[in-house]
Copies of this chain bind each other. A is one copy, B any other.
Amino acid sequence: MGKLLIVGSVAFDEIETPFGKTDKILGGAATFISLAASQFDVESGIVSVVGDDLPEDYLNLLTAKDIDISGITIVKGGKTFYWKGKYHNDLNSRDTLITELNTLADFNPVVPDNYKDADVLMLGNLHPNVQLSVINQMEKRPKLIILDTMNFWMDNTLNELLEVIKHIDVITINDEEARQLTNEYSLVKAAQKIYDMGPKYVVVKKGEHGALLFHKDEVFFAPALPLEEVFDPTGAGDTFAGGFSGYLAGTDDISFENMKNAVIHGSNLASFCVERFGTERMVNLEKTEVNKRLHQFKALTQFDIELQ
């Protein structure tokens, strides 16, 4: 069993989609990542910060999955990060209506001693200085450091982002962000430019169009499972990252061949996440369901052409 350290937000999300709307519910990158990773044989802990307005029930959902929350600082009198957004009809784009950083604004991450030797470090989307601070607190260099980020940090803290990217192994970003970061339209060329920034592996998330894993001259592709209905895309990217990092930590094998499997597991879990609002589907996800859908992924992608 590998040890996985997850850094990211634990948050209130308020979501509106064409199918309905929620009150403030549990969200945040670290939440989705840890719930996905809990599907694997992995010892995982979260580093995050919340206010004391976050219901204890929400944290209990995590501990019920054996996720170590001792690295989540609860700020007395503080308020938890809050995001409110509304998805457009095609669910591929959304408007952010409210972003309140609250306790996340001056988040000073503290890695618990028992996670300073984690095998895999999953840096969820956060200020790059926070991500770098966590790397610097590790007692030994993790076997694998994975970083997720987004266009917001490219727009506002590009130098800090480029600094932390130097220290990681895998970056996960979406297609538009890969293009923004490199000024290359071709994702093949974009990946090559990103190698020069530090990461040896580049994962490009394309939402309903799947995900690409680049390494040297090789590339692997996992489709998104075609679904009758996408109900709420919130957390899909984080769930993908959680499946990817959780599987790699659980199998203790960071070869490129095993990363292909990790990309499939990440896509598989993300296909569940989008079926309900927020974390609802992930909290109640059974191993039998996960295994059944892996069979669908195999049927979706595997063919039998004899090569010459």
Contacts and interface: CB of A to CB of B under 8 A. Distances in A.
A57 interface: no
Given A261-B305, A291-B307, A305-B264, A221 B212 contact: no
A267 to B, nearest CB: 11
Given A209-B206, A210-B223, A212-B226, A304 B257 contact: yes
A300 B220 contact: yes
A294 interface: yes
Nearest to A186: B228
Given A186-B227, A186-B228, A294 B305 contact: yes
A83 to B, nearest CB: 25
A286 B210 CA distance: 31
Interface string A203-223: 000100110100000111101
B261 A303 contact: yes
A207 to B, nearest CB: 10
* A265, A291, A295, A308: most-surrounded residue (chain B CB, <10 A): A308
A106 interface: no
A206 B206 CA distance: 13
Interface residues of A, number: 39
Nearest to A179: B90
Given A90-B185, A185-B90, A307-B291, A300 B221 contact: yes
Contacts of A226: 186-188, 212, 219, 221
Interface string A291-306: 1001100111111110
Interface in A266-300: 291, 294-295, 298-300
A295 to B, nearest CB: 6
Contacts of A24: none
A221 B222 CA distance: 10
B307 A298 contact: yes
A286 to B, nearest CB: 13
Contacts of A94: none
Contact of A260 (B212, B294, B303, B308): B303
13 contacts: A186-B226, A186-B227, A188-B226, A189-B228, A219-B300, A220-B300, A220-B303, A261-B303, A265-B305, A291-B308, A294-B307, A301-B301, A301-B302
Identify the 3 closest CB pairs spanning chains A and B, nearest first. A209-B209, A221-B223, A260-B303
Given A188-B228, A209-B210, A291-B307, 13 more contacts: A186-B228, A188-B226, A206-B209, A209-B209, A212-B226, A257-B304, A264-B303, A264-B305, A294-B305, A298-B305, A298-B307, A301-B301, A301-B302
